[in-house]
Amino acid sequence: MAFKERVFSGVQPTGNLHLGNYLGAITKFVALQDNYDCIYCVVDMHAITVWQDPAELTRNTREVTAAFIAAGIDPKKHIVFNQSQVAEHAELAWVFNCVARMGWLNRMTQFKEKAGKDRENASIGLYAYPSLMAADILIYRATHVPVGEDQKQHLELARDIAQKFNNDYAKSIEAHGFGEAFFPQPEPLIQGPATRVMSLRDGTKKMSKSDPSDYSRINLTDDADAIAQKVRKAKTDAEPLPGEEKGLEARPEADNLVGIYAALADTGKADVLREFGGAQFSAFKAALVDLSVAKLGPIGAEMKRLVNDSAYIDQVLADGADRARAIAAENMKAVKDIVGFVRR
Ligand code: AQP
């Protein structure tokens, strides 16, 4: 069955947005606007799966919204909103909690990593996170989902949930006139040289908001001096850069910095190595600082300007939520009919 093509993705308002979020997700969001109807969500309900200070959650929600707009997302042409304003996400997540299997969720590596050794003390929300994520995407029957590499497993789970729902309720789906399948199989869009940006302090660890060292990441709001310091201090090895991509194997830090450069320059690693092969890191880092400052500087400045205008940001979110809700409510009604819930 052919579904209307639609893009959905989300970002958690859990702290400093960094270069990984930007290159792995937000730049993709921006690029997809020309060819798709897009829905971009600040997933505040996902954020509270681990404790969030309420005032910070509010501030971070506005900051992620500001980042979307500053990076080039057009909230008039597309939909930008925060998840908690559209109750249908939670409603569908409950249905999905009853479709997804414990065995599927037990395999999720993000839960294992985030819950750590103290699993008994993790929230139920953290465990059920992928089921809410499936609902976020499927409440809009979205077909394409741009995410970083780390979200691949959750996307596969969303596909499994869609498939199981379609199978379990096949007769009812047909009887209600929705054909063979109600939900599409959402396709992950994970492409380019920076789908997994690594920590600047350790090339084997993902760049992450929750890393205690601020030197591990470049934040979107970092000024030119901070960016320069962090890139200069970034861990490297002693060899000059190789001339070809094969030479980056087993050199995680070099691979990471070349990938970042390539993504910022909108080119491939091979092109970067053609230019910098044989160069020492000092020269390459200087070029990377210039490029990072040129690309991120204007975004950080615009974010700072926008967060000071919280009335505008809140209006964008309210307007986006109204438009999102119109689509979500229609789909939720259909789900209720398919499942057999009596409704008015
Ligand atoms: N290092 C990364 N490289 C590429 N993409 C990344 N993403 C996150 N980190 C990287 C992508 O950014 C989008 C939004 O992520 P999120 O905020 O929803 O969740 P996250 O993965 O939990 O972000 P962090 O920074 O890694 O937070 P913590 O510290 O909590 O683990 C997603 O598309 C994600 O793939």
Closest residue by Cα to residue 42 from 320, 322, 300, 315: 320
Whether 281 and 322 map to the same domain: the answer is no
- Indicate if 295 belongs to the active site: no
What Cα–Cα distance (Å) separates residue 263 from each residue in 10, 202, 287? 20, 19, 14
Q: Which of 150, 200, 255 to mutate to test the pocket of ligand 1 (most atoms within 8 A of CB)?
A: 150
Task: Fill in the DSSP letter of residue 36.
Answer: S
Options 76, 77, 112, 114, the catalytic residue: 114
d(CA 234, CA 230): 6
Q: Is the CB of 151 under 6 A from ligand 1?
A: yes
Q: Which of 136, 151, 256 to mutate to test the pocket of ligand 1 (most atoms within 8 A of CB)?
A: 151
Q: Is residue 258 part of a domain?
A: yes
Q: Is the CB of 207 under 6 A from ligand 1?
A: yes
Options 152, 164, 209, 235, the catalytic residue: 209
Q: Is residue 203 part of a domain?
A: no
- Indicate if 77 belongs to the active site: no
d(CA 99, CA 112): 21
Q: Is residue 101 part of a domain?
A: yes
Query: 123: burial class by Cβ within 10 Å (0-12, 13-18, 19+)?
Result: middle
Please tell me the predicted confidence (pLDDT) of residue 141.
98
Q: Is the CB of 14 under 6 A from ligand 1?
A: yes
- Cα atoms found within 13 Å of the Cα of residue 16, Cβ hemisphere only: 20
Distance 210 CA to ligand 1 centre (A): 10
Q: Is the CB of 188 under 6 A from ligand 1?
A: no
User: Which residues form the domain of 54?
Assistant: 6-195+310-339
Beta bridge partners of 8: 39
d(CA 16, CA 64): 9
Q: Is the CB of 208 under 6 A from ligand 1?
A: yes
Q: Is residue 40 part of a domain?
A: yes
Whether 260 and 274 map to the same domain: the answer is yes
Q: Please report, in tens digits, the pLDDT of each residue of the chain (344 residues total).
A: 689 999 999 999 999 899 999 999 999 999 999 999 999 999 999 999 999 999 999 999 999 999 999 999 999 999 999 999 999 999 999 999 999 999 999 999 999 999 998 899 999 999 999 999 999 999 999 999 999 999 999 999 999 999 999 999 999 999 999 999 999 999 999 999 999 999 999 999 999 999 999 999 999 999 999 999 999 999 999 999 999 999 999 999 999 999 999 999 999 999 999 999 999 999 999 999 999 999 999 999 999 999 999 999 999 999 999 999 999 999 999 999 999 999 99
What CATH number is attached to the domain comprising 297? Answer: 1.10.240.10
Instruction: Find out whether 32 and 144 touch, Cβ atoms under 8 Å.
Output: yes
Please tell me the predicted confidence (pLDDT) of residue 314.
98
Instruction: Find out whether 128 and 93 touch, Cβ atoms under 8 Å.
Output: yes
Distance 60 CA to ligand 1 centre (A): 15
What CATH number is attached to the domain comprising 335? Answer: 3.40.50.620
Q: Is residue 201 part of a domain?
A: no
The stretches of the chain forming alpha helices (DSSP H) are: 19-21, 27-32, 44-47, 54-71, 88-97, 102-106, 109-115, 124-138, 152-168, 170-175, 224-233, 252-264, 269-276, 281-307, 310-339
d(CA 303, CA 264): 18
Closest residue by Cα to residue 295 from 271, 266, 273: 266
Instruction: Find out whether 7 and 39 touch, Cβ atoms under 8 Å.
Output: yes
Q: Is residue 205 part of a domain?
A: no
Whether 12 and 122 map to the same domain: the answer is yes
Whole-model pTM above 0.85?
Answer: yes
35 three-state secondary structure: coil
Give the position, in ligand 1's atom list, of the atom nearest the Cα of 148: 35
Q: Which amino acid is at 253?
A: E
Residue given tokens 């992950």 in the structure block = 188
Distance 191 CA to ligand 1 centre (A): 15
User: What residue owns the CA closest to ligand 1's atom 33?
Assistant: 147
Whether 301 and 315 map to the same domain: the answer is no
Residue given tokens 């205008």 in the structure block = 309
- Indicate if 114 belongs to the active site: yes
Whether 266 and 124 map to the same domain: the answer is no
d(CA 115, CA 119): 5
Total of domains in the chain: 2
Pair of tokens at residue 35: 């060819």
Distance 113 CA to ligand 1 centre (A): 13
Q: Is the CB of 166 under 6 A from ligand 1?
A: no
Whether 244 and 107 map to the same domain: the answer is no
Distance 335 CA to ligand 1 centre (A): 30
Distance 318 CA to ligand 1 centre (A): 25
Whether 110 and 237 map to the same domain: the answer is no
Task: Fill in the DSSP letter of residue 206.
Answer: B
User: What residue owns the CA closest to ligand 1's atom 24?
Assistant: 208
Q: Is residue 105 part of a domain?
A: yes
What Cα–Cα distance (Å) separates residue 160 from each residue in 2, 96, 100? 18, 11, 8
Distance 280 CA to ligand 1 centre (A): 30
Q: Is residue 173 part of a domain?
A: yes
Whether 227 and 178 map to the same domain: the answer is no
Give the strand pairing for 79-82 and 144-146.
Answer: unpaired
